[in-house]
Amino acid sequence: MARLKMTQLVVVTAALGLAGCDTISSLNPFDTASRYKQELLPEVAPDTLYNQGLARLQSGDTAGAAKAFSDIDRQAAFSPQAKRGLIMTAFAHYEGKRYDEAITASRRFLTLHPGDKDAAYAQYLLAMSNYNQIPDIGRDQERTERALVALQELIDRYPKSEYVLDAREKILFAKDQLAGKEMNVGRFYLKQRNFPAAINRFRDVVSKYQTTRHVEEALARLTEAYLALGVTNEAQTAAAVLGHNFPESPWYRDSYTLLQSGGLEPREQSGSWISRAFQGFTRTVGLAR
């Protein structure tokens, strides 16, 4: 109604500019016979709304279930059912693959009830809502980074929860995804003979994502890129670290052959950033998504 009145006001103002004969009273947006009609919606008991939500979930109507559960928060925010309704709102949205809505509801639950017994589950729903939207490595990985942060928060905040084991497995995949993106970009720069840019990408993989399946190739590519720049000490160190940690890797054999073609051999320098990055390194096998 207000928007309609503003539209009428603009039309009348335009007419005033053309004719110049309207009085100020004709511009009064409240000088009208129309009146606001108040409509009262019947209030439904929280128990009834909750049971309606459960029934709709069972029938597969996740959108209707989410609405019923969220109505509890709107109509009876301080009722005992409101807290449970909020976590069920997040769950219903998650089941319906409305992940952004699930994230919003989960965050609201965590803000209002951070110490509740269901807080770990809310954090899990938030993390998984991001995780299920991870794109392929050829696309922007912002969603992957969000999933990684949320999964790590779950482990840090609720270390004894039943969701921690699954979160750790999902973290391995998320990190592997981010490493794969860095490798894609690094290979592109390597083909363009932009060796410093390529090294920066491979360095990120070695520094941040050592437990992923991409680290062997990253070390081999560092050997290649440093050798192309004439930085032989770092090339030798990359190959030596690769051979020490992954002696059976085909990437190590390729790096060894490459160094030999230049009259060099793998030799680790303890002061190198590559050597320091692998101090205390323990390999973890990545899990499938």
Structure-token pair, residue 217: 């190739």
Asked whether residue 30 is assigned to any structural domain, the reply reads no
Asked whether residue 7 is assigned to any structural domain, the reply reads no
- Could you tell me the pLDDT band of residue 75, with boundaries at 50, 70 and 90? confident
Of 46, 55, 53, 112, the residue nearest 76 (C-alpha): 46
Whole-number Å distance between alpha carbons of 83 and 13: 51
CB atoms within 10 A of CB 126: 27
Residue 247's domain is classified under what CATH number? 1.25.40.10
- Could you tell me the pLDDT band of residue 285, with boundaries at 50, 70 and 90? very low
Asked if residue 119 lies in contact with residue 153, where contact means CB atoms within 8 angstroms, the answer is no
Give the model's pLDDT for residue 79.
Answer: 83
Q: What percent of the chain has pLDDT over 70?
A: 82
Asked if residue 86 lies in contact with residue 105, where contact means CB atoms within 8 angstroms, the answer is yes
Asked whether residue 42 is assigned to any structural domain, the reply reads no
* Unique residue bearing structure tokens 């390529």: 198
Asked whether residue 34 is assigned to any structural domain, the reply reads no
Asked if residue 253 lies in contact with residue 223, where contact means CB atoms within 8 angstroms, the answer is no
Asked whether residue 238 is assigned to any structural domain, the reply reads yes
pLDDT tens, residue by residue, 247-265: 999 999 999 999 999 999 9
Range of the domain at 244: 179-277
- Could you tell me the pLDDT band of residue 11, with boundaries at 50, 70 and 90? very low
The pair phi, psi for residue 284, each rounded to 5°, is: -120, 135
Chain CA centroid to CA 34, Å: 49
The whole-model pTM stands at 0.76
pLDDT tens, residue by residue, 196-244: 999 999 999 999 998 899 999 999 999 999 999 999 999 999 999 999 9
Residue 65 one-letter amino acid: A
Q: How far, CA to CA in Å, does 38 sit from each of 6, 33, 35, 72? A: 21, 16, 9, 22
Asked whether residue 191 is assigned to any structural domain, the reply reads yes
Question: In what helix (H) or strand (E) does residue 242 lie, and over which residues does it extend?
Answer: helix 232-245
Whole-number Å distance between alpha carbons of 78 and 89: 16
Whole-number Å distance between alpha carbons of 122 and 69: 15
Domain count, the chain: 1
Asked whether residue 211 is assigned to any structural domain, the reply reads yes
Q: What percent of the chain has pLDDT over 90?
A: 71
Asked whether residue 54 is assigned to any structural domain, the reply reads no
List of residues 6+ apart from 274 with CB closer than 8 A:
206, 219, 222, 234, 237, 238, 241
